[in-house]
Amino acid sequence: MTSSGSEPNRPGEFALIAELFVPLATAPGAFCLSDDAAIVMPPPGHDLVVTADTLVEGVHFFASDPPDLIAQKALRVNLSDLAAKGCVPAGYLLALSLPSQIEMPWLRAFASGLATTQRDFGISLLGGDTTATPGPLSITVTAFGQVPAGAMLRRSGAHAGDVVLVSGTIGDAGGGLACLRGEGVGLSDVDREFLVHRFRRPEPRLALGQALIGLASASIDISDGLLADLRHLADTSSARIEIDAARVPLSPALAALWPDETDRIIRAATAGDDYELAFAVPPENCAAVVRSAGRSGIPIAQIGVVKRGKGVTLRDSTGRPIPVSRPGYVHF
Amino acid sequence: MTSSGSEPNRPGEFALIAELFVPLATAPGAFCLSDDAAIVMPPPGHDLVVTADTLVEGVHFFASDPPDLIAQKALRVNLSDLAAKGCVPAGYLLALSLPSQIEMPWLRAFASGLATTQRDFGISLLGGDTTATPGPLSITVTAFGQVPAGAMLRRSGAHAGDVVLVSGTIGDAGGGLACLRGEGVGLSDVDREFLVHRFRRPEPRLALGQALIGLASASIDISDGLLADLRHLADTSSARIEIDAARVPLSPALAALWPDETDRIIRAATAGDDYELAFAVPPENCAAVVRSAGRSGIPIAQIGVVKRGKGVTLRDSTGRPIPVSRPGYVHF
């Protein structure tokens, strides 16, 4: 792990790494963070899968969010990408840009969130970089996973006739974000806490993704919004996807937050930050997927079908398309 | 490659990725950036080596630096870590946090710097993340390299009796930074340009690092400063290093910038950003190292020796220690 920058308010930065991060570098290839680089290798017969995601204060989380949950989210969104690809996670690199006002208590809580997540998923810190920044706190995680050689689930591969499924419930994180922005004043504490928790602490569906290997024809995790991410899957598969709005699984808490049914489904399907899996399955594999998913304990629901053509359509119970002005998170 | 954030001034961000980054994703495991993750595998009998470094505007480069050189530096500092470990580079992930004022001409020049560096070193973009940020431009590169199994050069391994060598000349980047900050007004254009170029476009010593495998006992690249990085090497090796100041190779341009000899060696040895290699070699391997380095075309120089004990000492021509208040780049 290397480091650079300049700012006080914290102990010497090598002391900081020694206290906070070396204990997290449990894999042999991390060399206790004492070298310029790490070694990461999948077991024989496996491919190494890599992914990276950046979280920026004020864009992806609030400065006031609990630091251990910020750490958990930074790891979990990356693990969600690995889940969508059917991987077993192995480790990660952490590149941390720290504003001067971040002090040791905050960093200790952040490191404890990393430690919790490492235990939850059996992974190790492998290395990274710490630097000072005059800007907002920024966290880039590069995550490593392994998958049987040639078996990585892809976004491409969905065919006309395949069934489209999702895990969990959709829109909760968007509801949680809305609560943090002042909506849902009449909501019960339990509903509000449920939604905010879903925003702050996504659940990477690793067991489900691994169970889908050899069964699903295409898979993606929902980060930008159900419709936006299905659009990615449809485009990459050169296919069209039709979603039955009434079948999209929504939580009771979300129904309490957004009482209007049409408004609710549109907001849920475009909110993003769900980190549920959306995937296509050939009809002949559906029974096996239901059994596999059942063993993983993760609820799944059929929400639509793959057809010839392009694009994604959300249909109401009468079969009419529901107009959606913006399919997902606003990109620049 | 995934993406998030919100800011205008640029085309839709998937259009941006399609125009600028997909052409750079030449490796099969990059899937043309159409998936959530990439596959990267070393050849049989090799270890995969990973490293990550972040560059922040205002900390590691100036907003006014040419964008293609910022891109080159972001890759080259990571390739320098791989060089120090004896690796052949393979590819990289790019996590880019973009302020709203960054527009397409800047991004096109940035992408062209990536393309140049990819050609120079035979590497491919594999994936990454783009996001908007309210703060400064920030670039995190995760680089992948390969090395014969078990042969990665380490920081540990230097033993009393080993000789300490460096590649190239030391302090030029520090001199270049000083020029950009207003020093060196009387300097010739050639000297000034040489020093600034050394700051902006480090030269990863990949061929040398690869030639050192099996011959060097320890190796590190100089990013924080010669003395600071030798201190890392000494600490990790549980050894002491003595440097003969008169033997540290300095460029004529640096001599012109900093005429006072003692001031010059202290500033050169503590400036950082050199991205030269510093390494230890057992005496019996010195002849082979000189021959190998000769074939790589990269100049090397013996600057000191490894002894029992701890720490790093810089000695003048009479053998007296030269007091150094701060061995390298100021960390937070």
Question: B11 or A81, which is more confident?
Answer: A81
Q: Sorting pLDDT into bands at 50, 70 and 90, what band is B6? A: very low
Q: Sorting pLDDT into bands at 50, 70 and 90, what band is B325? A: confident
Taking CA atoms, what residue in A is nearest to B96? A54
**Count of H-run helices and E-run strands, chain B:** 10, 12
pLDDT greater than 80 at residue B145: yes
Taking CA atoms, what residue in A is nearest to B56? A133
Chain A residues with CB under 8 Å of B128 CB are: 52
For residue B195, the tally of other CB atoms under 10 A from its CB is 28
Among A51, A125, A232, which would you mutate to test the B interface (most chain B Cβ atoms within 10 Å of its Cβ)? A51
Taking CA atoms, what residue in A is nearest to B129? A53
* Cross-chain Cβ contact A140/B136 below 8 Å: no
Residues B54-103: tens digit of each pLDDT: 999 999 998 999 999 999 999 999 999 999 999 999 999 999 999 999 99
| Sequence-ordered alpha helix ranges (H) in A66-136 | 67-84, 104-121
Give the whole-angstrom CA distance, residue B228 versus residue B331: 11
Note the pLDDT of residue A330.
53
Q: Chain A: nearest CA to B331, how far in angstroms? A: 5
Which of A13, A138, A154 is nearest residue B133 as measured by Cβ atoms? A138
Give the whole-angstrom CA distance, residue A278 versus residue A284: 18
Q: Sorting pLDDT into bands at 50, 70 and 90, what band is B15? A: confident
Give the whole-angstrom CA distance, residue B132 versus residue B27: 27
Taking CA atoms, what residue in A is nearest to B87? A37
* Cross-chain Cβ contact B59/A4 below 8 Å: yes
Give the whole-angstrom CA distance, residue B301 versus residue B246: 11
| Largest Cα–Cα separation, chain A | 65
Note the pLDDT of residue A170.
98
Which of B51, B97, B144 is nearest residue A36 as measured by Cβ atoms? B51
A80-94, A272-286, B181-195, B313-327, range with the lowest pLDDT: B313-327
Q: In this structure, are residues A283 and A215 in contact, taking their beta carbons and an 8 Å threshold?
A: no
* Cross-chain Cβ contact A37/B129 below 8 Å: no
Q: In this structure, are residues A25 and A111 in contact, taking their beta carbons and an 8 Å threshold?
A: no
Nearest to A48 by CA among B96, B2, B53, B50: B50
* Cross-chain Cβ contact B133/A133 below 8 Å: no
Tokens 């709005």 correspond to A245
Q: In this structure, are residues A63 and A180 in contact, taking their beta carbons and an 8 Å threshold?
A: no
Residues B258-273: tens digit of each pLDDT: 999 999 999 999 999 9
Q: Chain B: nearest CA to A94, how far in angstroms? A: 8
Which of A37, A48, A50 is nearest residue B51 as measured by Cβ atoms? A37
Note the pLDDT of residue B318.
94
